[in-house]
A and B are shown apart, each in its own frame.
Chain A
């Protein structure tokens, strides 16, 4: 039985499987099922029943998202299926693995998704720096087109699809789905107001689905092996496997596909090899730079959406960033604030002006010039930049490590002010 549907074909010590080898491991079976009569409505129902939630950060149920796309004669005939492959969340390194390791899996998933919502064009919005991903995807697209899995009248179904790789040029905000649509249209990538939601009015005003790479890679398994199999994968409440990553000072950092609901302790100790000798764990961001810190006391939590939410954080990308006891938490958070300040798109005032102010205060703390007043200002910004205060979720994302860090590492902040230096610096 397949237990690692996302990575079963991945071996980074060799090139990815070509289309023949991919087919030999059940690849493109789902298209045969579609050719035999599985309708878009059938697929939609399967994906809803699977319980798949988006792997791009927000964890929104995929089947439900798709069901908002208007269908039928009166709906716009042009629809788009867009894959979010902009992966720029600090500490996140999972989508790259999927694209470079098994590009056909993503293509198969795209065909399934596009067929379900009846989109004839799919854009993969790819980070410009991912040169190897671009090559792997374009090579795989050429193979799939030759096989008749892309192009006109795919496998006699009457369904047409082209997949186009769009490479971006480095701007974190493009990962936000409405900013991504503006970028694809060739505009400056500021986010759009919602509603209307992209499902109804997205790319060039047409119904559009935006899904994360890893989300899409879940689809082939669901169709090929079925719902019961999919529901048997998890160890927790949410369904499926997930790519979990660890960066920071563990013995063996890496990225592994594991059942959702695996405990965090198991991931860090069994897969990450535990902390390096002489170091202990102070805390960690569970799913990239926009998540709230968690503490060693949370290690026995099952890593899935609900359990992580219960302790005030988010599973988000599932790639953990570990803080050890000899690394300065203030420095770590300061590094993140510099990133968010730089990547603010500048559209709304709290974010455009607030984040650079926060960044500046961290530099003052670092330089030994921090004051009590500075700490107050930081606390205020957790509120000023929080959810609901800004035009998009970038600034609230920044407040996640900031707010939780101020709470959990208050002593470290105080010491920077009292000692007028970074106490971790020798």
Chain B
């Protein structure tokens, strides 16, 4: 953004100078955001998409990223922050390499998800909202994952795991450890 040409730019600059500086969006992020902009009549509408795109590339949405998106899409920072903080799956803090979305809604609760969660806590040493020391996993509660006939259910990254038992938890995370180690 060059000049303080309109209201939203001004807001951006004020907050940018008092808080922190925008990072530069990389070419891939920009290309993906531009693609989304073709799908909506108004670039404001792409705010959430842009947050998700940046999160996909950076792992989470830092203040610097948020400022960059606000300025790129000409959205007041406060408005974009209002969107970012509204959604459960926009991470405004760093997360582990894999996010565990753990369903703790009603059907999973009936089917004993509390004991599954204890097993995860025990194995990875993390509670909801925490990241394991090695930076591999972050545990996040999520409302009903729409697989209640195969409860308890969780997602790890994009993978769904169903009919969980404490024994299965051990096997599943053993697998991910191997995978993450192999990926470096």
Q: Which residues of A contact B (CB under 8 A)?
A: 87-93, 95-96, 127-132, 164, 166-172, 183-189, 204, 245-249, 253-255, 289, 319, 321-324, 327, 331-332, 335-336, 339, 342-343, 345
Contact = CB atoms under 8 A, between A and B. Distances in A.
A335 B149 contact: no
Nearest to B151: A247
A249 B151 CA distance: 10
B162 to A, nearest CB: 11
Interface of B: 39-42, 44-49, 51-52, 75, 79, 82-83, 86-90, 101, 104-107, 109-111, 142-151, 155, 158, 160
A167 B148 contact: no
A90 B147 CA distance: 10
Contacts of A185: 42, 44-45
Contacts of B40: 186
Nearest to B163: A253
B145 A129 contact: yes
A90 B107 contact: yes
B86 A93 contact: no
Contacts of A96: 146-147
Contact of B149 (A95, A131, A188, A253): A253
A204 B48 CA distance: 17
Q: Which of B42, B51, B107, B150 has the most CB of A within 10 A?
A: B107
Contacts of A89: 144
A246 B4 CA distance: 57
A168 B48 contact: yes
Nearest to A322: B110
A231 B46 CA distance: 43
Contact of B88 (A131, A170, A327): A170
The residue among B40, B41, B110 with the most chain A CB atoms within 10 A of its own CB is: B110
Given A171-B86, A343-B143, 7 more contacts: A93-B148, A131-B158, A167-B52, A168-B48, A188-B83, A289-B144, A339-B106
A247 B52 contact: no
A332 B106 contact: yes
Contact of B146 (A87, A167, A248): A87
A142 to B, nearest CB: 15
A127 B103 CA distance: 14
A246 B148 CA distance: 8
Q: Can you list the 9 inter-chain pairs with the closest CB atoms, starting with the nearest?
A: A169-B87, A247-B148, A170-B88, A247-B107, A253-B149, A186-B45, A169-B89, A170-B89, A186-B47
B101 A169 contact: no
Q: Which of A91, A246, A345 has the most CB of B within 10 A?
A: A91
A169 B88 contact: yes
A221 B75 CA distance: 44
B105 A319 contact: no
Contacts of B101: 129
Nearest to B41: A204
A207 B147 CA distance: 34
A327 B51 CA distance: 41
B102 to A, nearest CB: 12
A322 B110 CA distance: 9
A188 B146 contact: no
Nearest to B39: A164
B148 A319 contact: yes
B82 A93 contact: no
B42 A204 contact: yes
Contacts of A93: 144, 146-149
A336 B143 CA distance: 10
Contacts of A343: 143
7 contacts: A92-B144, A169-B52, A172-B143, A184-B45, A185-B45, A186-B48, A332-B109
A131 B44 CA distance: 24
A245 B110 CA distance: 16
B148 A92 contact: yes
A321 B110 contact: yes
Nearest to A338: B104
A186 B75 contact: yes
A339 B143 contact: yes
B86 A189 contact: yes
A253 B150 contact: yes
Contact of B143 (A88, A248, A324, A331): A88
B105 A339 contact: yes
Contacts of A253: 148-151
A98 B147 CA distance: 13
Contacts of B75: 186
A170 B149 contact: no
Nearest to B85: A188
Nearest to B157: A131
Contacts of A336: 106
Given A129-B101, A171-B87, A245-B148, A327 B143 contact: no
Contacts of B143: 88, 90, 170, 172, 339, 342-343
Given A186-B45, A335-B109, A129 B89 contact: yes
B88 A90 contact: no
B48 A170 contact: no
B42 A186 contact: yes
Contact of A169 (B41, B46, B90, B107): B90
A129 B155 contact: yes
Contacts of B145: 129
Contact of B106 (A88, A131, A167, A335): A335
B181 to A, nearest CB: 24
Nearest to A173: B86
A396 B74 CA distance: 37
Contact of B142 (A95, A129, A249, A332): A129
